[in-house]
Amino acid sequence: MKIVHLIGYFQPEFGYKEYYIARNQAKKGHEVHVVTSDRVFPFPDYSRLAKEIGVSASRAREVGESEIDGILVHRQKTIFELKEFILIKGVKKLLKKINPDIVHAYAPNQGSTALGALHKKELGYFLIGDDQVFTKDGKPTPYSSIKGMIRYNLFQSSLSQFYFNRCDVIFCPNAASKDYIGEKFGVKDKTEVVPIGFDPDFYHFDQKSRETIRKKYGVGEAETAVLLVGRLTPDKGFDRVIKLSEDIPKKSKAKILIVGDGSFKKELENQVRSLVVSDKVFFAGFVPERDLYQYYSAADIGVWPKRPSVGISNATGCELPILVPNDAMMNHLVGRGNGLAFEPSSERDLFDKLNLMITSRDSITMRMRKNAKKFAGDTLSYEKLALRDIEAYEQYKRLLK
């Protein structure tokens, strides 16, 4: 089967769903293409990110075709770019040449994705929409700033409406996004939840890594390692967990390991010093994406105190019990007894749930680890999620008969 993944920006060095889905489809013998721009997404402070992972600090990528992990990548010349909105040349001509059965088009706010909707009727492929809505205080919103709101209401909302109307099915990462898109754009009958997953080739439990990382940071096997992973920015809520560290009983022997770098790092380090918890909280700094499995393996509990993250599914793939807010963006990720959810606005509930997982590490939390392994294999593996494109296409074909 011929499958095209159409997206404004494609950077496999950072991971992300579109790479893992395409990669696993190629592994299963399908002819898989990615049609994208000649630029990397305009990440904040991209030059530092690039340096950390050892790639070019320039956002520009060479126009043309290349192959990675069995995926044929077509980088098209950029015509126009504003923020994350980008238009590229030659999409129709390329789609006509490839003649795909399926076009999986991501993120209509990126502009070029909507070209998949524009050419659908003429070229006759099955169109899968895929959109992840921004979050604010646990609720879905399609923009993250006042300027973004204006841009969205003046233009991008209409573009999204056109895109969703043309889609045959729309994949949403969680119930909150599904409900928002279904109600906002009147496409409830097309939407379904397909969670963010993990690739077992990159994320799996590794006992040797567990021993090595714990030894590096002085965490004994009888101690509980609590892991925080992500860019160190104020909206992650890592300061909430650090604040709680001073109240965790010493007899529990818990230590917090923070993996990541970012603009908020100095504030977090100052907080650790002011609370006098330097013996409990450690900063590992930036860790390349491909090495994160070692830290997930080393930890006993992973905490995401505020925002959803692809790291939650990756951690689950490494059999790590998780603690997340009880909201529609994330609570589906602890629905199999693989972790706990706390009330987002309650510091007390966050502390109580974290303390319970720490103090019951050898009983409740160990059961969560076993449940995480099963949940990951049954539901979150990209080896299985990659099949959803084909399953949706085949179901559509059956309905036409």
Confidence band, pLDDT 50/70/90 cuts, at residue 48:
confident
For residue 138, pLDDT beyond 60: no
Residue 154 in this model has a pLDDT that exceeds 80: no
pLDDT tens-digit readout, 250-302: 767 899 999 999 889 999 999 999 999 999 999 999 998 889 999 999 999 99
Judged against a pLDDT cut of 90, whether residue 388 lies above it is answered with yes
Q: At 46, is the pLDDT very low, low, confident or very high (cuts 50, 70, 90)?
A: confident
C-alpha distances (whole Å) from 74 to each of 7, 17, 67, 90, 146 are 11, 18, 9, 10, 34
CB 190 within 8 A of CB 166: no
pLDDT for the residue 136:
60
Is pLDDT above 80 for 145?
Answer: no
Pinpoint the residues of the chain covered by CATH 3.40.50.2000. Answer: 2-197+384-400, 207-380
Tell me the mean pLDDT in the region 79-99: 95
Note the pLDDT tens digit of each residue in 169-196: 999 999 889 999 999 999 999 999 999 9
**Res 397: pLDDT:** 83
Q: Domain 207-380: give its CATH code.
A: 3.40.50.2000
- Provide the whole-model pTM: 0.90
d(CA 72, CA 31): 8
> Band of the pLDDT at 41, cuts 50, 70, 90?
very high
Please name the CATH architecture into which domain 2-197+384-400 falls: 3-Layer(aba) Sandwich (3.40)
Q: Give the burial class of 164: count Cβ atoms within 10 A of its Cβ; 0-12 exposed, 13-18 middle, 19 or more buried.
A: buried
Confidence class of residue 139 from pLDDT cuts 50, 70 and 90? low
